[in-house]
Structure 1
Amino acid sequence: MSKSATIAILGGAGMMGQGIIRDLLSERAIIDIAEIKLFDSNREQMTALSRELNDARLTLCELDVCDAQALAQSLRGVDICVNSIPTLAGFQMDIFAAALAAKVDYVDLGGLGTYTVKQLEWHERFCAAGAVAVLGVGADPGMSNVICRAVADQLDEIDSIKLYWAATLSGPENPVLVPPYSVSTVLAEYAHPCIQFLDGRHVECAPQTGVEVIDLPQPWGRCEFMYSIHSEQLTVPLAEGIREKGIKEFTWKLHLPKREHEAWVGLVKAGFGDFDRPVDINGVAVRPLDVLNAVISRNISEKATLIPAQKSSEIHFAIGRGRVDGRPATVRCEVIVHPDPMYAGYVDAATSMNASIAVQLMLRDPRRPGVYAPEGYFNVDAYFEESRKRKFAISLTRELA
């Protein structure tokens, strides 16, 4: 785009929102940014971030997203709305509709695919409004969708694409449970049924099933993966340029570090998987999620000195099988993120940096109005170029029989 951009980030004081802002305001930016409007209800966290970054382009704005009029006002005069409010907070469709009404481009972190299919049905409405929406633009989903596009483009015919994400922690054992992302998201991944694409159709699978053990290089080693609720399997096998190649199977599987995995399994066993249904405590209806969030936050705050320095490494990879010129072929694309000083200050650098990449490519490159998943919108080479600037190690290999 030729003019300087004005970007609205809703939920910008949260873990992911803060990371998106950090990357947008960094020297890696490929667009000219006039202003970033940080909308949130947590004045303390907004102020702390503003003081740390000390950038005149950052404007703090209090917002109660439940207030429809205030939500509409927040999008006036902006070029793109970044919705970084957790999906399961329940505001995704309201914000999505507000962006359409304002004819403003839109992205969210998507995640679980809770609203993905419904949002894609608004494609023609966004086309008519001349606005662009790209759904799920973090690391998984987001970068993971682009990985799948890279794999698909290497095959003439596709039998299957299997997508994986694994994280590991190096360093002393942490006596404090620190969620890798939103507590509601992790619980949903462990407790809710998920949709996978099997035998050419979408099938509901029970949580924590589809167990598969894969030996990965260090520091991951032997990893046990499981099916999980996500959005990639809802969109990738139906994407233009992929579905025509005959794909019959597409799955997404998760691996968290062993101790953390055990903790989340235990919480689900204790009943926290049903986190939205209130329980009665002395005559007061309380959501289990609110209790768990409060306890985890308090525990992290009070035991901050006990939390050891740990290094997180993650690997995102997709394996595609099919044919090239009639010959059996296997394609593997992987992105590895090791600890780096660049990631200081980020809770989840991969997710927030990838969201920033998506926003910048949308603002820089020619626009295509409508509603898309990442594999249907971004150019693989352009996306990977920006990823490598952030020290994400990317490889793409193809083997022919």
Structure 2
Amino acid sequence: MKVTALGGCGAMGRATAWDLAENSAVDDLLIADADIESAEEFAAELPGDVDTAQVDVTNHEDLVAVIEDSDVVANALPYLFNTDVMEACLDADADYLDLGGLYHVTQDQLEYDADFDEADLVAVLGMGASPGMTNVAAAKGVEQLDEVDEVHIRTGAKGGAEGFAYSAKTILDELTMEPIVYEDGEIETLPALSGRERYEMPDPVGEVEGFHSIHSELATMPHTFDGVDTVDFRVAFAPSLVNIGEVLINQGLTSEEEVEFAGATFSPREFIDWYFDQQPAPDAVEEWKSFRIDVEGTKDGEPAQYRYTVVVESRLDDWGLKATAVWTGVPMAVGAQLLGEGEALTTGAKAPEELFDPGQFIDELADRDIHIEAERIE
């Protein structure tokens, strides 16, 4: 199979590319990126012969030409490009994966379901850590129950560099956009940074403080898990990062309303996104990323709860990547392999919980030393 890692020399794309380059099921790997020099330097680090291509994803014809002989396109670009890449994959006759669309873009992507189904193609919407592994783990929990009532998703971390662990724009969106929860069968919009809660994550992460955040799981799980009436998601960022978000919000610096300054017209948010994008990426350091999924319902007529947890650490010695990249990029590589091998459960543009057998996916992760642990809570 041939896989194109789009944005493959970015932080998350590097983990996907490393895994694919080490995978004997992948015959050809292409690193496609706007920064061809970085792509070529990175490709030289990978095992085997890895091709590179410069690509402008805003140019539809250019993008189609780059990916047209690919079986699978693993899209590690910022989420606002997701629908552009999906349209190119339809024209190039290639299966597709991405790292999520922060709810609203995911909703737009679901509109392509019929197009991908008619083309006998698969588009996996959100196949990183969260969304991605979280969806697969939740699906495994739902399998254990006769009826599912609630799904609660919690994420947390320990260690890592100060500042933005990945795309500053995406993190600021997670901090400042109004989160969505599904309560008692109804979608509800909440204020940014609301629902603060302290919760315990597996060692060595321990206790963290999280809050509701906009996330793609809420765009699909209320519809894909029959009978569920509550789904929520909380993320725990470093306190210093949350403080940055609070200051920006309180000072109006995340506003999309345009202002004029020094002869230019722009919004405060546009400037903030531009400024943080100019800052150097933090070094890869030791960290641990974790999630906890609680799936509640009934089994044999009795209340039942299953918990799924994972802890992923940095891979500094071999890949030179922090845990944030590893736990996001590796699941997308697993998904790309399964798509290329024809293991998707159906066609169309859908979430991971509909497209992959959760047991098979969890086994593939375990082969890569990412272990999702299961526990029945009594």
Fold-level similarity (TM above 0.5): yes
Partner of 1:336: 311
Residue 279 of structure 1: how far off its partner (Å): 4.4
Equivalent in the alignment of 2:40: 47
- CA displacement at 1:272 relative to structure 2: 4.0
Determine the structure 2 residue equivalent to 1:268.
249
Q: Which residue of 1 aligns with 2:146?
A: 156
Whether contact under 8 Å (1:192, 1:273) holds in the other structure is no
Where do residues 186-335 of structure 1 align in structure 2 (5 Å cutoff)? Answer: 186-239=171-224, 242-243=225-226, 246-274=227-255, 279-286=259-266, 288=268, 291-292=271-272, 295-296=275-276, 299-300=279-280, 310-335=285-310
Work out the CA distance in 1 between the residues paired with 2:142 and 2:318. 30
Contact map agreement 2:18 2:319 (CA 8 A) in 1: no
Q: 1:128 to 1:231 in 2, by over 3 A?
A: same
Aligned position for 1:18: 14
Between the aligned partners of 1:55 and 1:270, the Cα distance in structure 2 is 50
Higher mean displacement: 384-393 or 132-141: 384-393
Q: Decide whether the 8 Å contact of 2:153 with 2:293 is kept in 1.
A: yes
The amino acid of 1:321's aligned partner reads E
Q: Secondary structure at the match of 1:350?
A: helix
The aligned amino acid for 1:359 is A
Structure 1 residue identity aligned to 2:254: G
Match for 2:63 among 71, 75, 82? 71
Q: Deviations over 1:273-322 (max 9, x none)?
A: 33x65543311235656644564465547xx7xx7x84211211111221
What amino acid does structure 2 have at the position aligned with 1:181?
Y
Q: TM-score, normalised by structure 2?
A: 0.91
Distance 1:268 1:251, change over 3 A: same
CA separation in 1, counterparts of 2:279 and 2:30?
Answer: 31
Report if the CA contact (8 A) 1:188-1:273 is conserved.
no
Q: Cα–Cα, structure 1 residues 68 and 217, in superposed 2: closer, same or farther, change >3 Å?
A: closer
Question: Secondary structure of 1:247's partner?
Answer: coil
Please give the alpha-carbon distance, in whole angstroms, between the structure 2 residues aligned to 1:342 and 1:389: 19
Q: Please, which of 103, 106, 121 is the counterpart of residue 96 of structure 2?
A: 106
Q: What's the secondary structure of 2:144's corresponding residue?
A: coil
Q: Which residue of 2 aligns with 1:369?
A: 347
Identical aligned pairs, as a percentage?
28
Q: Which runs of 5+ in 1 are unaligned?
A: none
In the alignment, is residue 353 of structure 1 matched against residue 330 of structure 2?
yes
Moved more, 214-223 or 104-113: 214-223
Contact 2:3 2:336 in 1 (8 A): no
Q: Could you tell me how far 1:253 is from its partner in structure 2?
A: 0.6
In 2 relative to 1, CA 293–117 (structure 1 residues): closer, same or farther, beyond 3 Å?
closer
Q: Secondary structure at 1:153's aligned position in 2?
A: helix
Question: What is the Cα-based RMSD across aligned positions, in Å?
Answer: 2.3
> Partner letter of residue 117 of structure 2?
C
Corresponding letter in the other structure for 1:35: D
2:28 is matched with which residue: 35, 39, 43?
35
Residue 84 of structure 1, CA deviation = 1.5
CA contact (8 A) 1:354 1:387 kept: yes
Whole-angstrom distance in 1 between the partners of 2:278 and 2:91? 39
Counterpart residue number, 1:382: 360
1:394 matched to which residue of 2? 372
CA distance in 1, matches of 2:318, 2:274: 27
List alignment gaps of at least 5 residues for structure 2: none
Checking the alignment, whether the CA contact within 8 Å between 2:116 and 2:348 is kept in structure 1 is: yes
Aligned residues: 375
CA contact (8 A) 1:78 1:104 kept: yes
